[in-house]
Structure 1
Amino acid sequence: MAEYIQIPTPAGKFDALAAGPEDGRPVLLLHGFPEAAVQWSEQLSVLGGAECFAVAPDQRGYSPGVRPEKVSDYRLEELVGDVLAIAEHFGWDRFDLVGHDWGAIVAWATAAEHPDRVRTLTAVSVPHLDPFGEAMRTDEDQHQRSAYMQLYRSSTAEKTLLADNAKKLRQIYYPGVPQHHVDDYVQRFTEPGALTAALNWYRAHRFEKHKIGPITVPTLYVWSTEDTAIGSTAALVTGDHVTGPYRFEMLEDVSHWIPEEAPDTLTRLLLQHLVAHQA
């Protein structure tokens, strides 16, 4: 069972969920938009039982204690810095890194820039950023799938998403996210400043312009066929951008919300990945 903790860093205190012995194998799990650490509840429980020390923070802007107001404070380099700061707090020289959606974006960038710190990478839904940016520029299917980002970056995004009892925000989670998680997320985003902070991740970043280069660490990438946001173009060539050991898993008939819709399958794949790369 995961327990609530706080993680002090130079940027502020992160709220987090943690499971397992503190001297266990360190695994850091990064959530996506518009969610929180609770999306990893199933994975935390299993990892903790497998003698891992699994930690899932509410990331920058999602944690009230780390909620800067400037859009520039949500640039990718700041988000990667948070990962390293959390690792420093626990004294982790190396750790396994898992990310879904925006968490995957941060995880890809961290693994690219700090391969000496990342034992293994598990990216869920979002592919390697280089082919993803290329697909957004040149692939009509991915361009259409990513059109929602225009709303998220607009000045009216907060009002639009929260209108009529957060109707449009609630629609984002369908299908795949359990109702009790949806209610939890919506409650979080109705708190003053919370949704703006989460949307600032989009406002601070342009995928089409960002290059991270090849990934050298052992990598598992999990993509699902019914993901409305991420098409197959970049997903199928992500392996071309990983020079280390690589495993690609495609889940049939599963939506974007893999950690919550297919928790058993994802957790099994994650554990296999960790066992395969112990050193």
Structure 2
Amino acid sequence: MTEPRLTQFRNGPHTFDVIDSGPLDGTPVVLLHGFPQRASAWNQVAEHLHARGLRTYAPDQRGYSPGARPKSRFAYGMAALTSDIVALIDAIGPGPVHLVGHDWGAAVAWSVAGNHPDRVTSLTAASVPHPGAFIRSMFTSGQALKSYYMALFQLPVLPERMLASGRADSMLRGGGMTREMVEQFHTEIVDHGALRGGLGYYRSILRANPGQLGKKIAVPTTYVWSDNDVALGRKGAEINHRWVSGPYELEIVQGATHWLLDERPAELANSIIKRVGI
């Protein structure tokens, strides 16, 4: 009998959609997307991983899956986001997985690896450093200025209207998105009804538990940072190793913006493959 693909999983009252692809007997790799993208953002990277025999699971996370869009901004705290991915890993079973995240997906991946190391074989985080390194960089570099949009997103209603109407398209383009990526944002996020949920991650950030976010990472870890990232500065990359106690590697992608999945899928895939160890 052919093993079925995992197309959905549940966590409490919420149902999440998953893109399960690659060889059925492949080593499991979980791919977590960021804002403002969905699981499909991993498609190009996943092709390279499949060619090396890896099976990938890319979920539409909380706020993005139609069956997992709670209305309260307080439903998007890191504890809830972390529990969603733990539920996915348990649904994949048995045993731990290689975990990969970009942007907000990286933030969630750091939390999963720090709080549930028994479920993670290795971690590859792209763009966003460990929360401890990010917070420290806010006070010791120009990171706070780069993160101005996080304060803007705290406002009610206005961010949704700006992003949905296209008035913020120039901001997205200025951050490195191509015209095609901006169009995809309007199709997959705005038209799909995922914008409010995606903004919920930012609106819950001030309620984060420092004890949960500050745990050091014991699993083998690679952090991938691009030097033309307008949202994440060099300081966080330079000090990130302080929050990892296990084997660690920093990889800097020269000349790339924040959108590594779209600009440098082969390079990011190679970083993942090297960390997985195949």
Residue 191 of structure 1, CA deviation: 3.2
What is the identity, as a one-letter code, of the residue corresponding to 2:149? Y
Please say if residues 218 and 244 of structure 1, whose CA atoms lie closer than 8 Å, have aligned partners that are also in contact. yes
Return the match for 1:227 from 202, 226, 229: 229
Residue 41 of structure 1, CA deviation: 0.8
Report what 2:48 is aligned to.
46
Q: Superposition pairs for residues 25-104 of structure 1, below 5 Å?
A: 25-104=27-106
Residue 255 of structure 1, CA deviation: 0.4
Please say if residues 16 and 56 of structure 1, whose CA atoms lie closer than 8 Å, have aligned partners that are also in contact. yes
Residue 273 of structure 1, CA deviation: 1.2
Partners in 2 of 1:262 and 1:254 — Cα distance? Answer: 8
Distance 1:65 1:169, change over 3 A: farther
Distance 1:152 1:175, change over 3 A: closer
Please say if residues 77 and 207 of structure 2, whose CA atoms lie closer than 8 Å, have aligned partners that are also in contact. no
Instruction: Summarize deviations over 1:45-85 as a string: whole Å, max 9, x none.
Output: 12122221101111110111111111111100111101011
Report what 1:205 is aligned to.
205
What secondary structure is seen at the aligned counterpart in 2 of 1:256?
A: coil
Report what 2:109 is aligned to.
107
Partners in 2 of 1:5 and 1:85 — Cα distance? Answer: 13
Report what 1:144 is aligned to.
145
In structure 2, runs of 5+ residues without a counterpart are: none
What secondary structure is seen at the aligned counterpart in 2 of 1:67?
A: coil
Distance 1:275 1:140, change over 3 A: closer
Report what 2:243 is aligned to.
241
Distance 1:208 1:59, change over 3 A: closer
Report what 1:154 is aligned to.
155
Please say if residues 82 and 108 of structure 2, whose CA atoms lie closer than 8 Å, have aligned partners that are also in contact. yes
- Alignment coverage as a number of residue pairs: 270
Distance 1:95 1:192, change over 3 A: closer
Residue 212 of structure 1, CA deviation: 2.1
What is the identity, as a one-letter code, of the residue corresponding to 1:270? I
**Structure 1 range deviating more: 40-49 or 100-109:** 40-49
User: Is 1:123 the equivalent of 2:125?
Assistant: yes
Distance 1:134 1:12, change over 3 A: same
Partners in 2 of 1:158 and 1:258 — Cα distance? Answer: 25
In structure 1, runs of 5+ residues without a counterpart are: none
Residue 22 of structure 1, CA deviation: 2.8
**Structure 1 range deviating more: 47-56 or 241-250:** 47-56
Residue 31 of structure 1, CA deviation: 0.4
Residue 177 of structure 1, CA deviation: 4.0
**Structure 1 range deviating more: 186-195 or 24-33:** 186-195
Report what 2:168 is aligned to.
168
Residue 246 of structure 1, CA deviation: 0.4
Please say if residues 78 and 208 of structure 2, whose CA atoms lie closer than 8 Å, have aligned partners that are also in contact. no
Please say if residues 141 and 235 of structure 2, whose CA atoms lie closer than 8 Å, have aligned partners that are also in contact. no
Please say if residues 89 and 119 of structure 2, whose CA atoms lie closer than 8 Å, have aligned partners that are also in contact. no
Residue 162 of structure 1, CA deviation: 1.8
Residue 170 of structure 1, CA deviation: 6.1
**Structure 1 range deviating more: 146-155 or 102-111:** 146-155
Structure 1 length as normaliser, TM-score?
0.90
Report what 1:195 is aligned to.
195
Identity of aligned residues (%): 36
What is the identity, as a one-letter code, of the residue corresponding to 1:80? T
Residue 173 of structure 1, CA deviation: 4.8
Report what 1:266 is aligned to.
268
Instruction: Summarize deviations over 1:59-116 as a string: whole Å, max 9, x none.
Output: 1101111111111111001111010111111224200000000000000010000111
Partners in 1 of 2:192 and 2:250 — Cα distance? Answer: 40
What secondary structure is seen at the aligned counterpart in 1 of 2:117?
A: coil
Partners in 1 of 2:175 and 2:78 — Cα distance? Answer: 28
What is the identity, as a one-letter code, of the residue corresponding to 1:8? F
What secondary structure is seen at the aligned counterpart in 1 of 2:66?
A: coil
What is the identity, as a one-letter code, of the residue corresponding to 2:62? R
**Structure 1 range deviating more: 44-53 or 222-231:** 44-53
